[in-house]
Amino acid sequence: MSNYKNFLSSLEASLRSANRNPQDIELIAVSKKKSAKDIQKVINEGHLSFGENQIQEIESKWPDLKKLNPSIKLHFIGSIQSRKVEQIHKHCEVIHSIDRKKIVQKFAELETSDKIKRKYFIQINTGNELQKSGVLFNEADEFILDCKSNYNLNIIGLMCLPPIDEDPRNHFSKLADLAKKFNLNCLSMGMSGDYQVALECGATHIRIGTRIFGERS
């Protein structure tokens, strides 16, 4: 059995344990540093939702993959440099990591000029870690309100990456409470090591790499 099928079995058990409806969860296969050949194998098994964090990788692999597989949905899950916004908007249907006003403005301008609508998550830095991307937690209310009120972007939810040395449950719960406060229905949280906890805390989008593709070289 493939890694992908093995993971689907584990996911089904986790969903039952967390009393979650599989229809409410989007599994994002994180394909960074994986070849088009490796990705195509997972597509051939029926998977259509993928995540990448580097625009250079997206440009080198995904135009051809999308031509072969037009139903693919590509998620951008990395930190966003302002000079890369245009390419991210061009290639990715869902963007998980908006966290600065300058970035929001650029996406809003592109949507107006290109007439292409995307879906967005706001990345929240729940641990207020200085080295990490994301809106600082104590500034999150103001940022979310600004995005929802002043820009015509389809902001569907919030995303976080908990500190690696802390219990992720506390951070997932904080994110879920914040999303509820602003009537945002989607939560992008949980990776290969903590997705079960994320599901228990209300995740709607889980980002899984190594459990599907194996270790990265």
Q: In the chain, where are the structural domains located?
A: 3-213
- Residue whose entry in the numeric block shows the structure tokens 């270790």: 215
- What pLDDT is stored for residue 159 in this prediction? 98
What region, left, alpha or beta, does residue 198 occupy, with left being phi > 0 and alpha being psi -120 to 50 degrees?
alpha
CB 50 within 8 A of CB 31: yes
CATH of 3-213, one of 1.10.10.60, 3.20.20.10, 3.40.50.1860, 3.40.190.10: 3.20.20.10
Name the pLDDT band for 217 (thresholds 50, 70, 90).
low
User: Tens digits of per-residue pLDDT, 68-125?
Assistant: 999 999 999 999 999 999 999 999 999 999 999 999 999 999 999 999 999 999 999 9
- What pLDDT is stored for residue 216 in this prediction? 74
- What pLDDT is stored for residue 25 in this prediction? 98
- What pLDDT is stored for residue 173 in this prediction? 98
- What pLDDT is stored for residue 35 in this prediction? 95
- What pLDDT is stored for residue 118 in this prediction? 98
User: Tens digits of per-residue pLDDT, 190-216?
Assistant: 999 999 999 999 999 999 999 999 887
SS3 content of the chain, % helix, strand, coil (to 5): 45, 20, 35
Tokens for 45?
């098994």
Instruction: Quote the mean pLDDT of the chain.
Output: 96
User: What's the rounded Cα separation, in Å, for the pair 198 and 171?
Assistant: 9
CB 104 within 8 A of CB 153: yes
User: Tens digits of per-residue pLDDT, 8-20?
Assistant: 999 999 999 999 9
CB 176 within 8 A of CB 201: yes
